Homo-oligomer: A and B are copies of this chain.
Amino acid sequence: MRGLEITDERADFLKADYERGFIKFCRFRAVSACWGGFESSVEINPDHRQQDGFIHAGVMATMADHTAGYSAFTIVPEDLQILTIEFKVNFLRPAFGDRLVCRSRVIREGRRVIVAESDVYDVRSGEEVQAAKALVTLMAVPKAGLTRSGA
Q: Which chain B residues lie closer than 8 Å to A115 at the CB level?
A: 86, 90, 92, 133
Residue of B nearest to A46 (CB): B21
Interface flags, A51-65, vs B, CB<8A=1, else 0: 110001111011101
Q: With A21-B49, A139-B113 in contact, do A90 and B86 touch (Cβ < 8 Å)?
A: yes
Q: Which chain B residues lie closer than 8 Å to A81 at the CB level?
A: 52
Copies of this protein in the assembly total 4
CA distance A96 to B96 in the complex (A): 33
Binding site for B on A (CB under 8 A): 17, 20-23, 25-26, 46-52, 56-59, 61-63, 65-66, 81, 83-94, 96, 107-108, 110-113, 115, 117, 130, 133, 135, 137, 139, 146, 148-151
